[in-house]
Amino acid sequence: MDLFDFKEVKYLERDTNTPTFFGKIDSEVGKGGQVMITLGDRNFFVDINPQDGSWKWTPPEALADGEYSISFMTIDTAGNLSTPTQRTLIVDTTPPAAPTLLNLYDDQGAITGSFDAGKMTDDRRPTLTGIAEKGTVVYLKEGNTVIGSAKADEKTGLWTLEPNVDLADGRHNLTLVAAETFAGKVREGKVSDEFNITIGKDGDVPSDPGGVAKIIEAIDNAGSLTGSLKSGGITDDTTPDLRGSAPEGSVVRIQYRNDKGEWIDGGNAVMNGTSWSWTPSPALGAGNWEFRANAGSGWTDEFKLDIDLAPAAKTEITHAYDDFGSYTGMLGNGAITDDRTPNLHGRAESNSLVYIHYRNVLGAWELLDSVTAGADGRWEYETDRLSPGTYEFQAGTSGTRDTNGKPFGLQIVAPGSVAPEISMAWDDVGKITGEVKSGGLTNDTQPELRGSAEANAVVQVEYSRDGKTWHSGSTVADANGRWSFTPKDELEYGNWDFRAKTTNSNSYSADYSLNIIDSEVVTHVYNFEDITPVNINKDVNYGNLTFIYKKHDNVTTAIEDHERWGGLFVIRKDSNVNEFVQKVNFQEKINYFELAALDWESSKSYISFFDENGKELGRVYSNDERGNSREVLQFYSGNAEISYAEIHIIGSLTAYGIDNIITERYSKHEINTNSHGFEAFDSYEAAYKFPLGKADKLGSGLIFKTVKGTEAEVYDNAKSNSYKSLFFKNNSTYEITFGSTDKIS
């Protein structure tokens, strides 16, 4: 594929970490030239075949999976540069993960609703719901035959499908697999674990087909706590005995899987009548392990064990449960609940004694009670009735609380007494994405509101543009009380107010305001007409600008009302002060700056611009305008974000004016006036040499080439210069190609 033939495609997809790019240049003057490839911040050059104009290039180092900016530009034999072709390179070598089945649903017959895999259903085309990698196609298979498919949602990954054929009576062993089209190829991912659906009469219990194995338990024979382990148990035994059942005479195969997802053949279990046992050999290491058995009719569900040589550290509270009031369900750490007797749930070493401590956050810790963890490592405890307040609970293995343990918090409130909060809005449209604060601008006509409320609450979100007509929608808070809401219809441009309440209360959140606009470029104009004149003796905030006060005995700064120019920022200094620097911080990062300089009368004065790390992005100099006149200075930083600027006033005059500052965020500005680049050679490694006869495009846009003699070299001496330097060598010739310019320094 010829890279320079692309017209519309913005992305290049590659499924290898060492992609190769190639093309062909048809123009005669281009043959024998070079292609400059910019990958991220590195430049690479490849020669163009002088005979047929072809070129080929592979990155010298393997690229990790991810996104990269890449551009291609030709330099012909006359030194002319083509317009760069810019693309986003996506490297992805990993096929989709196996889909996850979340739910099975029966909507036929007398008994309807969700059912578990392996249960009986009379719905010959039950509904399957699950999650997969976003945008992939999920296939339902019986053996190698596809019997249904659906596309996973582009944003959530959720999918829903029904078999496209009626399932016959009896047991059906099924799998799921996801496929995607990437780099022009269709690739399937990992196949899910097998699950089964049995078609029959509602309510009947499926009979075990011949040769079905079961895993009943594991036995812990190590350490101070021994005994039965159920699936999910925590143990310090690295050779736990697995025990189960199968028809007499069966050959039971065992497999086990580590946390890397690899199934390992464990050989055959030892049969004794209809019982079997199996012990891993060699011993297993610490980690999460899964086991399964097969006696000829498919694999059992996974039996899971967490092997930990210091299992006491696994003692924890995982969640709580609210079974009171309008909203019930799981409670996460920090949740708000109206249940005065919440149930605590947790994990610990199987069969161990768990001590529970608690406190009101205003008081001291106390021992609440103790409980024994089950064979599956799970425990639960219903608290005594608690008064409204904020509480912390902690689980441990001793009657003395571990001060290094992790507390679990709950805020207990009276029903309906807590209004939701809207904490932020999220913009995912265009190039300006992310959080939008209340009162902010966004071009997202369906912004996502996020906030907090009582856990599991139904939150009603209302929104209005005029304060009279309110639209509404609802969402449900999760176990931690977090919720999000997106209007179902696009909102008109203008100022919108949002508010939220729960359905069991009439108490509203504070209003959250958004100004929805057509453009995503945010422009601010500061003409100093809407700020009170003042002599400056401290930092001054003006919109998104902050003028940093700098005390100087012979310099004063002020905002004044000029008889001709109106509002101005004025710097007055004694004539013997050669240089004064005025710093301006931008509370919201920008990438375009414009300023009207009044009577600077010096070609030495300039403005320098910096990113958040203090790296100088560039400068713009004045042009020595004289005679009570103004000059507009502009600077555009492209994709780099400007955090602050320093205005350097250099000269013998005693008064300098600043007017009409304009800033833009995510601008695509074209600067047509005289502008000045700034090159610090920071994109080059020290000791880099510019090859003889080959052109390098510098970060500032200049083109540099060693024409003859010794190669120019980048030099780095932090003690003498904060930027890198370019060293020229004796008896050598170098060429610098500019755009339009009138001065270099």
pLDDT at 257 over 90: no
Q: In the structure encoding, which two tokens stand for residue 311, read together?
A: 């299992």
pLDDT (tens digit, 9 = 90+) per residue, 557-575?
Answer: 999 988 777 889 999 999 8
* pLDDT score at 439: 85
**What average pLDDT does range 501-511 have in this prediction?**
93
Q: Do 312-412 and 421-520 show the same overall fold?
A: yes
* pLDDT score at 696: 80
Q: Rounded distance, CA 256 to CA 285, Å? A: 12
Q: Is 523-665 assigned to CATH 2.60.120.260?
A: yes
pLDDT at 680 over 70: no
* pLDDT score at 207: 58
- Strands 214-220, 227-229: parallel, antiparallel or unpaired by DSSP? antiparallel
Residue ranges per structural domain of the chain = 3-91, 100-199, 214-309, 312-412, 421-520, 523-665, 679-745
**What average pLDDT does range 222-226 have in this prediction?**
90
Q: Is 421-520 assigned to CATH 2.60.40.10?
A: yes
Residue that is written with structure tokens 């919440």 in the block:
342
* pLDDT score at 76: 82
DSSP state letters, 176-226? EEEEEEETTEEEE-PPPPPEEEEESSTTPPPPPPTT--EEEEEEE-SSS--
* pLDDT score at 444: 92
Q: Rounded distance, CA 201 to CA 27, Å? A: 75
pLDDT at 740 over 70: no
Residue 16 pLDDT level (bands cut at 50, 70, 90): very high
pLDDT at 425 over 90: yes
* pLDDT score at 281: 92
Alpha helices in 563-610 (DSSP H): none
Closest CA to 38 of 1, 75, 66, 8: 75
CATH fold, domain 100-199, is Immunoglobulin-like (2.60.40)
**What average pLDDT does range 491-503 have in this prediction?**
94
Whether the CB-CB separation of 391 and 358 falls below 8 Å is answered with yes
Q: In this predicted model, which residue has the larger pLDDT, 529 or 669?
A: 529
Q: Rounded distance, CA 101 to CA 159, Å? A: 9
User: What separation in angstroms does the CA of 647 have from each of 57, 499, 607?
Assistant: 45, 43, 4
Residue 683 pLDDT level (bands cut at 50, 70, 90): low
Closest CA to 498 of 457, 458, 465, 452: 465
Q: In this predicted model, which residue has the larger pLDDT, 263 or 630?
A: 263
* pLDDT score at 426: 94
* pLDDT score at 701: 59
User: Is the C-alpha dihedral spanning 196, 197, 198, 199 positive or negative?
Assistant: negative
Q: Rounded distance, CA 180 to CA 563, Å? A: 68
* pLDDT score at 676: 46
pLDDT at 632 over 90: no
Mean pLDDT, the chain, rounded, equals 88
* pLDDT score at 333: 95
Q: In this predicted model, which residue has the larger pLDDT, 364 or 718?
A: 364
* pLDDT score at 453: 95
Q: In the structure encoding, which two tokens stand for residue 344, read together?
A: 């605590």
pLDDT (tens digit, 9 = 90+) per residue, 122-157?
Answer: 999 999 999 999 999 999 998 888 999 999 999 999
**What average pLDDT does range 687-694 have in this prediction?**
88
- Cβ within 8 Å of residue 739, ≥6 positions away: 701
Q: What are phi and psi of 5, to 5 degrees?
A: -90, -10
pLDDT (tens digit, 9 = 90+) per residue, 48-67?
Answer: 998 888 999 999 999 999 99
Residue that is written with structure tokens 């020229």 in the block:
728
* pLDDT score at 675: 46
CATH superfamily, with its number, for domain 214-309? Immunoglobulins (2.60.40.10)
**What average pLDDT does range 235-258 have in this prediction?**
92
* pLDDT score at 143: 82
Q: Say which range, 244-253, 435-444, 445-454, 491-500, has the weakest mean pLDDT.
A: 435-444
Q: Which CATH number fits domain 3-91: 3.40.50.2300, 3.30.360.10, 3.40.190.10, 2.60.40.10?
A: 2.60.40.10
* pLDDT score at 465: 92
pTM of the model: 0.51
Alpha helices in 424-561 (DSSP H): none
- Range of 71-85, 586-600, 681-695, 700-714 with top mean pLDDT: 586-600
Q: Say which range, 133-142, 389-398, 513-522, 695-704, has the weakest mean pLDDT.
A: 695-704
Residue 6 pLDDT level (bands cut at 50, 70, 90): very low
Q: In this predicted model, which residue has the larger pLDDT, 74 or 10?
A: 74
**What average pLDDT does range 705-729 have in this prediction?**
77
pLDDT (tens digit, 9 = 90+) per residue, 651-660?
Answer: 888 888 998 8
CATH superfamily, with its number, for domain 312-412? Immunoglobulins (2.60.40.10)
* pLDDT score at 371: 96
| Chain centroid offset of residue 309 CA | 35
* pLDDT score at 1: 44
B/e letters for 117-135, b = 16+ CB within 10 Å, e = fewer, are: eebbbbbebbebebbbbee
* pLDDT score at 242: 97
Whether the CB-CB separation of 201 and 122 falls below 8 Å is answered with yes
* Other CB atoms within 10 Å distance of the CB of residue 309: 13
Closest CA to 176 of 115, 119, 132: 132
* pLDDT score at 603: 65
User: What separation in angstroms does the CA of 684 have from each of 172, 237, 329, 681, 744?
Assistant: 62, 56, 57, 6, 21
